[in-house]
Structure formats: C-alpha cells, structure tokens
C-alpha cells in the first residue's frame, strides 16, 4: 500500500505545481531583475486608446464596460488586442485629454515634463497612453524618489499626478 501511496502523492503534487505555474504571470528576467509580466489588454474609452495604469476617470461616469477576448479581439482590433480588449463607454461625452493638455492645464515647466511620470505614486509606463478627465486631477507635483517605496526609476525626482479622492 505504501509503495502505491507515495507515487500517487507525488503525482498529485506535481499536477498542482504545474497548474499553479500556468496561473502565475509570466516571469521575465531583465538586467538581473525578475519582473512579473501581466497581461495588458487594449483599453478603449470612447474609442480612445489608453491603459488601465494611465487612465484618470471617475468610475461613476462609466455607462458600459465590454470585454472582448481571444480570436474575436484579434480579428476586431489586431495585434494590440493579443491579451484581449476592454471597451468603456461613458454616460456622457467628457473632455478627456492627453498628457500634453494636463501639463498645460497645470502649468508644468518644460524641465519637469522630462521627469518620470506617475499617477498617485504609480509609474506610468507609456505616457502617450495617458487619458484624463481634468476634473479628476487635484494637482501635479514633483515628488522625491524613494528607494524604499519604488523600484521603477533612478531619477532623483518624478512628476506625480494626484487625483481627487472618490466618494
């Protein structure tokens, strides 16, 4: 009995391990640092491309959210939708702006515009995807880089967009 139990137990453990590896995000080695690569679906807000990490929007302004996956997403949107697509329709037409307009509205000097960008302290990987409802931006400020709280920049400072608290 013991001779059958051990291989069965090992088989069960290996199966669980394999399933867990399939569910984990892909690990990627980059310059000696292991990062977790999360799926990045294409995000469209009123037909404007953005990313979840680069969107400043009040959730109460959302009318409808549709998720498109797999072949349907690829056929409809091409390679950008390899990880699927999230289509967000707003209740009303909002004046959503890109980063250049945020800089203008908050009078950000040219020198500061070259700093690494964050929204509420979270790094914005692709600033071209930033899409914001200016009514939701409280302020734009230069913040000091802290090795303890962040690993995404080596600048001494970064530009941080602070959003208004949601009720």
> What DSSP assignment string belongs to 103-147?
HHHTT--HHHHTSEEEETTEE-S-GGG-EEEGGGEEEEEEEE--T
Q: Mean pLDDT across the stretch 121-146?
A: 94
pLDDT of residue 152: 54
pLDDT of residue 17: 34
pLDDT of residue 60: 94
| Opening angle at CA 47, ends 105 and 136, nearest 5 | 35
Q: How many domains is the chain built from?
A: 1
Whole-number Å distance between alpha carbons of 129 and 105? 18
**4 located within any domain:** no
Cβ atoms < 10 Å from Cβ of 130: 23
**3 located within any domain:** no
Contacts of 11 (CB under 8 A, 6+ apart): none
Q: How many residues does the structure list for the chain?
A: 167
**142 located within any domain:** yes
Say what the pTM is. 0.71
pLDDT of residue 149: 53
pLDDT of residue 12: 37
**16 located within any domain:** no
**112 located within any domain:** yes
Domain of residue 142 covers 39-163
Please report where in the chains the tokens 């939708």 appear, as a residue. Answer: 81
**75 located within any domain:** yes
pLDDT of residue 1: 46
Cβ atoms < 10 Å from Cβ of 158: 22
Q: What average pLDDT is seen over the chain?
A: 80
Whole-number Å distance between alpha carbons of 124 and 130? 8
């Amino acid at each position: 009995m013991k001779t059958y139990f051990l291989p069965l137990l090992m088989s069960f453990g290996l199966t669980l391990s394999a399933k867990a590896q399939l569910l984990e995000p892909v690990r990627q080695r980059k310059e000696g640092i292991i990062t977790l690569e999360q799926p990045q679906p294409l995000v469209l807000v009123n037909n404007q491309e953005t990313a979840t990490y680069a969107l400043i929007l009040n959730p109460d302004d959302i009318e409808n959210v549709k998720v498109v996956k797999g072949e349907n997403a690829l056929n409809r949107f091409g390679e950008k939708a390899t990880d699927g697509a999230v289509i967000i329709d707003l209740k009303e037409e909002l004046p959503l702006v890109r980063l250049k307009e945020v800089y203008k509205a908050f009078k950000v000097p040219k020198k500061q515009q070259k700093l690494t960008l964050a929204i509420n302290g979270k790094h914005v990987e692709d600033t071209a995807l930033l899409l914001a409802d200016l009514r939701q931006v409280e302020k734009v400020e230069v913040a000091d880089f802290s090795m303890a709280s962040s690993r995404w920049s080596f600048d001494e400072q970064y530009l941080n967009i602070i959003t208004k608290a949601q009720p």
